[in-house]
A and B are shown apart, each in its own frame.
Chain A
Amino acid sequence: MLLESKNVQYTHPGQKTLLFPDIKLYDGEAILILGKSGSGKTTLLNLLAGLLSPEKGTVSLAGTEFSKLKGQKLDLFRGKEIGIVFQKPHLISALTVMENLELAHFFGKKKGQNLDKLVAELGLAPKANSSVLTLSEGEAQRVSIARALANEPKLILADEPTSSLDDENAKNVIDLLKAQAEKIGAALVIVTHDQRIKSQIPNFIEVESL
C-alpha cells in the first residue's frame, strides 16, 4: 500500500464538516477524484498534498503518516515525496524553464531525476534555457508537470489538469501523467470534473457534500 487515507475530515470555517471517502492506492496506480464544484474535492487534494492538515483521520504515504507532520518537516516531506500539478502552471516568471525545475531539487533537498532527460521527454528541450514568459500555455503546463516529477515523488497530485485543454491535448496530458507515474512507480491522483478522463482512468471516487 503506497497511499492510504482513512476517515479524513475537514471543516472550512463557517461551513459544514466534510467527510471524505477512504483512498487506497498501490505503486503505479491512478485514481480520479470526481465531484461537482464546491463538493470539497479540492480540499481533499490539499489534504492529500499536506497543504492542509485533516481534523480527524490519517493520510499516509509509503508508511509515513504525514498528516501528523508539522511545519518544516511537512514542507520537506512534501518537497521530496509529493509532486503537485496545479490547475494553472504557476511558474516562477523570473526564472528560466531549467531554473524552475532546479528549484524543486533545491527546496526538496533531493537530487531527483536528471532534468535534461526529463525536459527532453516532455518535449521541452528547445525551451530549456528560455524564460518561462516565452512559453505557450501547453508548454507552461508541461513545465509544471516536469516540476512535479523532478524529485521522483511517490505521489503525483493533479488539480484539474485538463480543464482548459481541447480533447486531444487533454488526452496527451493524462497519458503523460500516467506514463510518468508508472515509470517512477508513483501513485497518481487526479482531481477533476472532466468526464473525458474517465475513459483513460476508470478508477475513481466521488466526493459529495454531505
Chain B
Amino acid sequence: MNLIKLSWKYLIFRPLSTGLNVLLLAMGLAIIIVLLLVQNQFEKKMTQDAAGIDLVVGAKGSPLQLILSGVYHIDFPTGNIPMEEAKKLTRNRLVKGMIPLALGDNYQGYRIVGTNHDYLKLYETEFEEGKEWEVPFEVVLGSEIARKSGMKFGETFEGSHGISEGSHDHEDHPYRVVGVLKPTGGVVDRLILTSIESVWYTHDEADSESVAEVKSDSLSTITMAEVSEEPKIHQDKFHSPVAKTGFPDTDLPREVTSLLIQYRNPIAAIQLPRQINSGTSMQAASPSFEMSRLFELLGVGVSLLQGLAFVLIAISGLGIFIALYNSLKERKYDLAILRAIGASRIQLLFLVFLEGIMLTFLGAVLGILLGHTFLWVVISQNDQGVVSTLQAWIFLKEELWVLGYALGVGLLASIIPAWSAYQTSIAKQLTKA
C-alpha cells in the first residue's frame, strides 16, 4: 500500500464521477489535439508545397482559387490562358524560372498534371523506379497514387475528363506508367505527372482516327509499316520527344492552365504581379499572400473551436474541484483515521493532490488518444484530397504541453481540497461522536 495506490482506490471507488470528469477533460483536450495536428501538418505542407514558387499566373478569377488549384491542386482551375501570352513572360527580365502546368484530366480523382521536368526538380523528387516521361502519354506517378491504386511500372490506364472523378473516360489515349516517385510528403504524392503534350493530345478531337493504333499496342512497338499515311503524322507526333523544360513547340494556338514563377530579384515581387494583372489578360497571385489570407479566414473557426476546448477543460477542472471537495466531506473521517495511524499532514496533502493529478493525467492520455483517433477516422473517411495526406499518428512535442496543461488544471483544482485536508483536526473528527 502506498499513496499512489490509495489515491487510485479512492478514484475507482467513485467510478461515475471519476469517469465523467475524465471524459470531459479528454473531450476538451481531444479538440486541442486535433487542432494542433491539423494546423501543424497543414502549415508544414502548405509551406513545403509552395517552396520555390513566388508567383502563380493563370486565368483571371479568384486569386485564392488560382493558388489552391495551381500549387496545392485542391480547387478547380480558374480557366486556361493562351500559351503565346504565357510565353511572352519568359522573356521578362524579372522572371528567373517558369514552369507551365496544364490541367484537365484525372484518374480515379487524382489529377493528371501536364508539365515539364522542371516541376520534378522544383520538389526535388526521386524515383522509386523508372524515370521521367520522354514521349507523350508517358506518366510518372506520385507515391500515394501508386500505393492506393496498386499500379505498377509499365502498366497503362485511361484518364477521365475533368478534375474530379466521374466524368467520361478518354479511351483513345491510354497513359503508360514509366516512373514512380518516392514519397515526398508533399502535393506531388497525389499527382500524376506527364508532359503538357499528353494533356493537349488527349483533348484534340481530331486525333480520334488514331484510336486503333494507340489502343492496339503500346506506342513504341508500332512499326511504321503497319500504319497508313494519314495517321502517320499523329504517329510522329506521339513518338517525338516532349519538351523537358520551358514550353513545348507547337504551330497551333495552344493553352496552358497556370504558370509557376520564380522571381529573379526582390523588385520582381513588387513589379511583376502589377505588370501581369494590369498589362495582360492573365492574373498573378502570390502563394504566401493568399495562404496567409486563407489562414486568417480559417483562424476565426479555429479560435472558436479552441475557445470551446478551453471551456470544456475549465468545466472539467471545476468538476474535479467539486468532486474532490464533496468527497472530502465524507472523507474527513478517513483523513483523521489516516492521521491517527501515523500519516502526516503533508502526506494527506499529497494524497489529495495525487488524486487530482491522476484524474487529469488519465483525462490527458485519453484526450490525446481520442484526438488522434478522431483524426484517424476523419482521414480514413477521406481517401483523396488534402485531408487524406494528413497523418493521424504523428505525435508532436506540443502534446507534451497539453499534458502539462492538463496536469496544471488538476493541480489547480486540488489546491483548496488539499489544503482543507491538510487542516483536518483529527481529535475533533474522531471523538466528537
Which A residues are within 8 Å of any B CB, using their own CB?
A: 42, 45-46, 49, 51-52, 71-72, 75-76, 78-80, 84, 86-88, 90-95, 99, 102-109, 147, 151, 159
Contact = CB atoms under 8 A, between A and B. Distances in A.
A105 B6 CA distance: 13
Given A49-B340, A78-B342, A95-B9, A107 B431 contact: no
Interface stretch (B210-218, B244-252, B331-339, B400-408): B331-339
A107 B430 contact: no
Nearest to B2: A106
30 contacts: A42-B431, A51-B426, A51-B427, A52-B427, A75-B339, A75-B342, A75-B344, A75-B345, A79-B341, A79-B342, A80-B342, A84-B340, A86-B337, A86-B430, A87-B431, A88-B433, A90-B430, A91-B337, A92-B337, A93-B13, A93-B334, A94-B9, A99-B1, A99-B9, A103-B1, A103-B6, A103-B338, A106-B2, A108-B341, A147-B341
A90 B431 contact: no
A94 B13 contact: yes
Q: Is the interface of A mostly helix, strand, loop or mixed?
A: helix
Highest count of chain B CB atoms <10 Å: which of A103, A104, A159? A103
A91 B9 CA distance: 14
Nearest to B6: A103
B427 to A, nearest CB: 4
Interface of B: 1-2, 6, 9-10, 12-13, 333-334, 336-347, 426-427, 430-431, 433
Contacts of B339: 75
B338 A51 contact: no
B13 to A, nearest CB: 4
Contacts of B334: 90, 92-93
A75 B9 CA distance: 23
Given A79-B341, A84-B430, 15 more contacts: A46-B431, A51-B430, A72-B344, A75-B345, A78-B340, A86-B340, A86-B431, A90-B336, A90-B337, A90-B430, A92-B337, A105-B1, A106-B2, A107-B338, A108-B342
A39 to B, nearest CB: 14
A90 B345 CA distance: 19
A106 B351 CA distance: 13
Contacts of B336: 90
Highest count of chain A CB atoms <10 Å: which of B2, B12, B339, B342? B342
Contacts of B9: 94-95, 99
A76 to B, nearest CB: 6
Nearest to A150: B341
A163 to B, nearest CB: 10
A205 B337 CA distance: 27
B342 A107 contact: yes
B428 to A, nearest CB: 9
Contacts of A103: 1, 6, 338, 341
B24 to A, nearest CB: 22
A90 to B, nearest CB: 5
B335 to A, nearest CB: 10
A46 B342 contact: no
Shortest 3 CB-CB distances between A and B: which pairs?
A79-B342, A94-B13, A107-B342
A75 B424 CA distance: 13
A49 B1 CA distance: 24
Contact of B344 (A71, A94, A102, A106): A71
Contact of A72 (B13, B333, B340, B346): B346
Given A52-B427, A102-B1, A90 B333 contact: yes
B340 A51 contact: yes
B431 A75 contact: no
A82 to B, nearest CB: 9
Contacts of B338: 92, 103, 107
Given A92-B334, A95-B9, A105-B1, A76 B344 contact: yes
A180 B424 CA distance: 31
B423 to A, nearest CB: 14
A105 B337 CA distance: 13
A114 to B, nearest CB: 15
Nearest to A104: B341
A147 B342 CA distance: 12
A31 to B, nearest CB: 18
A102 B338 CA distance: 12
A71 B345 CA distance: 8
A14 to B, nearest CB: 15
B1 to A, nearest CB: 4
Contacts of B10: 94
Contacts of A75: 339, 342-345
Nearest to B346: A72
A44 B92 CA distance: 102
A41 B346 CA distance: 30
A45 B13 contact: no
Contacts of B431: 42, 45-46, 51, 86-87, 159
Nearest to B9: A94
A103 to B, nearest CB: 5
